[in-house]
Copies of this chain bind each other. A is one copy, B any other.
């Protein structure tokens, strides 16, 4: 495989497909990449729809059978943007075929699947074939800065992580059933879809693991109109009602490996909160706070400062010295949601060229999956459970 170009085959072309394609198109225009991504092949079951999407996204060819890309020499990387129930099958097959894999989160719909995927990734890595899971919020510059600060010791010993992921698009009981509300497709509801993000962010920023949890799941609206069609998070209602088989809201208490504790919430019923990823971390030396609704800002408190002069510092994370920012605009010209995906593409391509392991790895994805699993089981038993692994 020559690395002058990086042929990308993508499976799926909905919300995640659109933003991944944008990232592949944009990354080489703003960053100097060691390989040039080419949008080679787009796979999807509906021939007409996949053709239209390919035209829009800039893919050269389409297929209605994702397995086609396994045998194409011009596809170097398979980008998995499908619902969770297909992640394991596609990713493992691709890795076994010697294709690098970028897989959307959550890694899988069960720990067993995630373990198989992590094992496949480990085997593939022996041959220089790499796998990455798409926890894209890690690459929001403010989150990168948060990680740097914790790694530098700016927070000291971590005492508390409070992390909420708040949306409201299911508050309306007439919002239709989409695949995200179907356990067989999505694995879980708010827990896996958005809770997975804050679990990963908490572990990424602190550099610690969640070691035990006790959780609480709720499904507030048990039946919804069956969806006729869907796009992004929205869908239009078709005929008849169907059961919601996933959680509408998840919350859990957690133990962290460094001795601190955590409190997590994920819900699609927080009226007025559209995509509020809120993380506050308190340590012995300081604190930090982030809200994705104001994504270009990180609030940092340094407890070593004189009390009368101390306060949460509102850092506008748009300086050239901030992670990824030099490639973009001058200070104060904020970035948006999709930039995290572009940064993800940049780091992935760089790792592939260097022959190093991109992060988050499938092992990281598995670690999140184990927390999701423990939350779900603890919610059923009403007890604390260790996060296995």
A interface residue numbers (CB < 8 A to B): 15, 18-19, 21-22, 25-26, 28-30, 56-58, 145, 155, 159-160, 162, 164, 167-169, 171-173, 214-216, 218, 220, 232-234, 249, 251-253, 259, 261, 263, 265, 267, 269-276, 280, 282-287, 292-297, 299-301, 303, 307-316, 318-322, 328-339, 382-384
A-B residue pairs in contact (CB < 8 Å), sample of 20: A15-B329, A15-B330, A22-B26, A162-B265, A168-B303, A214-B214, A269-B282, A272-B301, A273-B282, A274-B316, A274-B332, A275-B333, A293-B296, A299-B314, A307-B319, A311-B313, A313-B314, A314-B314, A334-B336, A382-B384
Q: Which residues of B contact A172 (CB under 8 A)?
A: 303
Q: Which residues of B contact A300 (CB under 8 A)?
A: 309, 311
Bound: A308/B162 CA distance, A? 24
Bound: A287/B271 CA distance, A? 6
Report whether A382 and B214 are in contact in the complex, using a CB–CB cutoff of 8 Å. Answer: yes
8 closest Cβ pairs, A-B complex: A275-B332, A274-B332, A272-B301, A336-B336, A311-B315, A333-B337, A274-B331, A311-B313
Report whether A293 and B267 are in contact in the complex, using a CB–CB cutoff of 8 Å. Answer: no
Give the distance to chain B from A243, nearest Cβ to Cβ, in Å. Answer: 18
Number of this chain's copies in the assembly equals: 4
Bound: A269/B287 CA distance, A? 10
Q: Which residues of B contact A311 (CB under 8 A)?
A: 272, 299-300, 313-316
Report whether B272 and A261 are in contact in the complex, using a CB–CB cutoff of 8 Å. Answer: no
In the complex formed, the residue of B with least CB distance to A277 is B332
Q: Which of A25, A283, A338 has the most CB of B within 10 A?
A: A338
* Known A22-B29, A311-B313: A160·B274 in contact at CB below 8 Å: no
Report whether B310 and A273 are in contact in the complex, using a CB–CB cutoff of 8 Å. Answer: no
In the complex formed, the residue of B with least CB distance to A19 is B329
Bound: A316/B294 CA distance, A? 10
Bound: A261/B382 CA distance, A? 14
Bound: A265/B25 CA distance, A? 38
Q: Which residues of B contact A56 (CB under 8 A)?
A: 28-29
Report whether A287 and B270 are in contact in the complex, using a CB–CB cutoff of 8 Å. Answer: yes
Bound: A162/B273 CA distance, A? 13
* Known A251-B253, A310-B313, A312-B313: A282·B293 in contact at CB below 8 Å: no
In the complex formed, the residue of B with least CB distance to A312 is B314
Give the distance to chain B from A331, nearest Cβ to Cβ, in Å. Answer: 4
In the complex formed, the residue of B with least CB distance to A29 is B56
Report whether B308 and A321 are in contact in the complex, using a CB–CB cutoff of 8 Å. Answer: yes
In the complex formed, the residue of B with least CB distance to A318 is B274
Report whether B335 and A337 are in contact in the complex, using a CB–CB cutoff of 8 Å. Answer: yes
Q: Which residues of B contact A164 (CB under 8 A)?
A: 162
Bound: A214/B26 CA distance, A? 45
Q: Which residues of B contact A313 (CB under 8 A)?
A: 309-314
Report whether A267 and B160 are in contact in the complex, using a CB–CB cutoff of 8 Å. Answer: yes
Bound: A316/B299 CA distance, A? 14
Give the distance to chain B from A59, nearest Cβ to Cβ, in Å. Answer: 11
Q: Name A286's contact: one of B159, B261, B271, B332 (CB within 8 Å).
A: B271
Q: Which of A171, A286, A318 has the most CB of B within 10 A?
A: A171
